Every structure is written in C-alpha cells, then in structure tokens.
Amino acid sequence: MTDILSAAGADPAVVPEFPMARAAGCPFDPPPGLRSLQEEGPIARVRLWDGSTPWVVTRYAEQRALMADPRVSADITRPGYPAPAPLPKGSFASFILMDDPEHHRLRRMVQAPFTVKRVEAMRPAVQKIVDDLIDDLLAGPRPVDLVEAFALPVPSLVICELLGVPYADHDFFQDNSKTIIRRDAPPEERAAAGGRLTAYLDDLVGRKLAEPADDLLSQLAGRVTAGELTREGAAQMGVLLLIAGHETTANMIALGTLALLQNPDQLALLRDGDDPKLVAGAVEELLRYLNITHSGRRRVALEDIEIAGQVIRAGEGMIMANDIANRDPGAFPEPDDLDIRRDARRHVAFGFGVHQCLGQPLARMELQVVYSTLYRRVPTLRLATDLDAIPFKHDGQVYGVYELPVTW
C-alpha cells in the first residue's frame, strides 16, 4: 500500500479503479471496494476513466477537514481536477464548480428563497401538492410507477413555482437533466442536452426581463438589468437550480421509499409515530444511509496539503466519497444499519464547507412532508415487483431508481 501512495504519484496499473461497483443484492450500500479502502486508511489513490490517479478520501473526519480547507478548490477548469467523465466542450459552468470570491458572489444572488424561514412558509403549499398527488395516485390504476406518478412531480412542481418555470414543460427539462447527469452518456450528448436547457432558460430569462413576476428567475433578470450578471450567467444559474432542485429530491423520495419498504420495522416506526422530530430524524438518517450523490465531491489541491500522514501535492485531484464517509464507523456506530431514531444530523450527504447544499432546507422540508404523508395515507404500499427487477441508477451522478413499481 505504501508504494501505491508514494508522493511521486501512483502506478495506474496497481491502483483500484473508481467508481467501484456496488455489491449485487445490496443496492443501498456503497461499493465494498470503498469500504476496503476506508478500512486501510483515510485516503488512498484511485484510477479514473482517463488513467489519472487522484486521491479518494474515505473517512469522515479527514473529509470534513478537507472540504472546509481553503487550499482545496472546486474549480473544474484547473488542471488535475478529477472529472467524473469526459468534459463536454463549452460545458456550462455554474457556481457549484467555482471558487470564492466569484462562487460566493453568485451564490448570494440566489440564496434568499432557500433560507429556513422562507422554506417553512412554503410548507402548506408543498403539503397540498403532496396531498393532491396522493389523491390522484389513489384514484388511478395499480400498479403504478412511483417515480413518474409522485417522486418526480413533487420537487419539480415546487422548483418550477419557485423559479418561475412553467411546469407544463416538465418532460422537456426532465429528459435533458437526466442526460446531463448520466456519467455514461457521450460528452457530445451531454453537451447538447446542456445547450438545449441553457437556451430554454435563456429564453425564459428574456421573458422575465420583459415581464417580471414574483419568482427567482425574475430576480436574476433584475441582476442582468443592473449589470451584475450576464444573461448567459442568469440562464446557467437557472439550469443549476432546476436540475439540483428536482433530480436530487426525486431520487430521495423514490429510493427512500424503497429503503423503508425493505426495512418494515423502520417504516412502521415512521408511519405510526406522530412526532415531527421523529420524521425530521428519519429524513436525516435516510440522507445519511442512502447518500444519493454517490460519485463523490470533486476537488483539486491548490497547495501541498499534509493529511493523515500523506502529502496531497498542489494540482492533485481529490474525490470526497461522501457515501462511504457517511458509513464511517468512527462517526456513526453500526453505520450500515438504517435506524431512524439515531442522531444522523452530522452527515455529509449535503456536502460540507462553502459548497454545502444551498437547497438543503427546501429538500429537508419536502422530504419531511412526503415521508410523513405518503405511508400514512397509503399504509399498505408495497413493491409490485422483485427487488432485483428494479433498475438502479448506477450510471448517474445521482443515485436512485429509474422506476419503482408499487401497489397497495
């Protein structure tokens, strides 16, 4: 192992490939290869699709330390950045892939609607969306695909309302988002999908410039008028928020439901308890346990950084594998158990440091409403197929299920 980790770099032939596969029959657990690396030490070399050998950071404490370290950059344009797949030419750059001060300047422009207070004010509207969708579900045919009928519409309706994007266009933006975050899609296909979505948002920003409304895209259009943002920049922020706003939460709804159906004791606790704190705790535990952003947060060192007895050299890439960090026994006892009564709030499913998820108050609230409503209103909810027939998103940057056939 010492040879593999030598400061001079690594021999790609002996370094394990990343990403690693999940074990058959264990759809909720990180790849066993990541577990082995974690057992060996906090950081290790891995090999990427392009033959490069960045570091993977597997333990919780080291990951939090590095994510909060100003010598660590999220700038995708820096040499050494460990890209998860070939970068499409002219790929859209959003502030999630930038460093401060520009990252901070742009993030501030869109943070107001995502504060806990503003999000709490939206809770009754989200509850109505959830109730209406469950009414439709119960009135419709069975079995039904829960992804299509419920998990995708909930966050899509919410983010559309918040941004000022017409929900009627959901097929268009959902299809393109799906392509953009598919790791195995050819770069030209991902670039084309990014281009279509940016053009769509650019057109919407144009309409908000002409006729502002009470929504976030109109506020961004206002920034364009004030000369603080280019129109292209406004459109790119719209793309980031639209994708981040529905893909992630939708996967948590569907995969979370599947995990609960596979853990009936935990589902019963959640369904039969009426304490909002229990529901909030269940949301945190499912975020920790499932960690849907499973391809790791990507970073590059700006300076030499000493950590865990190793030196990460300036210009070397790092992958913060937050899925395995959330299963670090040093941070969470019995980490592979789903236990909705544990205190999981310190998880890194939303990342850590300056890029920590902007939408986390919204995601939490949506998931609390969903998890406290769906299983109570549909108490006999069950899978309408075998677990091994369910298509999992192994190829996506966000983990989840493509379909979840359910009945009741």
3-class DSSP state of 144: strand
According to the binding rule CB under 6 A, does residue 349 interact with ligand HEM? yes
Q: Going along 150-191, which residue ranges are E strands?
A: none
Stretch that binds ligand HEM, among 123-131, 164-172, 202-210, 345-353 (CB under 6 A): 345-353
Does 113 sit behind a cis peptide bond, omega within 30 degrees of 0 on the bond before it? Answer: no
Choose, by CB under 6 A, the member of 293, 295, 310, 368 that binds ligand HEM. 293
Count other C-beta atoms under 10 Å from residue 101's C-beta: 8
User: What residues numbered 96-135 form the site for ligand HEM, per CB under 6 A?
Assistant: 96, 107
CA distance linking residue 234 with residue 91, whole number of Å = 15
CA distance linking residue 317 with residue 81, whole number of Å = 5
User: What residues numbered 250-279 form the site for ligand HEM, per CB under 6 A?
Assistant: 252
User: What residues numbered 9-68 form the site for ligand HEM, per CB under 6 A?
Assistant: none
Q: Which is nearer to ligand HEM, 15 or 181 (CB)?
A: 181
Stretch that binds ligand HEM, among 12-20, 56-64, 248-256, 373-381 (CB under 6 A): 248-256
Choose, by CB under 6 A, the member of 249, 266, 295, 326 that binds ligand HEM. 249
Total chain residues near ligand HEM (CB under 6 A): 23
The distance of closest approach from Cβ of residue 141 to ligand HEM in the complex, given in angstroms and rounded to an integer, is: 29
CA distance linking residue 236 with residue 23, whole number of Å = 37
Helix (H) or strand (E) run with residue 178 in it: helix 170-180
The distance of closest approach from Cβ of residue 241 to ligand HEM in the complex, given in angstroms and rounded to an integer, is: 4
- Contact (CB, 8 A) for 250 and 151: yes
User: Which residue's CB comes closest to ligand HEM?
Assistant: 359
The letter for the amino acid at 2 is T
Starting at the edge strand that comes first in sequence, how are the strands of the sheet with 144-145 ordered? 144-145, 405-407, 382-383
User: What residues numbered 140-159 form the site for ligand HEM, per CB under 6 A?
Assistant: none
According to the binding rule CB under 6 A, does residue 286 interact with ligand HEM? no
Produce one character per residue of 153-164: b if its CB has 16 or more CB atoms within 10 Å, e if not: bbbbbbbbbbbb
x/- letters, 181..220, toward ligand HEM (CB under 6 A): ----------------------------------------
Stretch that binds ligand HEM, among 35-43, 139-147, 344-352, 386-394 (CB under 6 A): 344-352
Q: How would you classify the pairing of strands 310-312 and 297-301? A: unpaired
According to the binding rule CB under 6 A, does residue 363 interact with ligand HEM? yes
Q: Which is nearer to ligand HEM, 191 or 255 (CB)?
A: 255
For residue 288, give every residue at least 6 positions away whose Cβ sits within 8 Å of its Cβ, in sequence order, or none.
326, 332, 344, 347, 349
According to the binding rule CB under 6 A, does residue 369 interact with ligand HEM? no
Stretch that binds ligand HEM, among 37-45, 48-56, 134-142, 244-252 (CB under 6 A): 244-252
- Contact (CB, 8 A) for 292 and 251: yes
- Give the interface with ligand HEM as residue ranges (CB under 6 A): 74, 95-96, 107, 240-241, 244-245, 248-249, 252, 292-293, 297, 349-351, 355, 357-359, 362-363
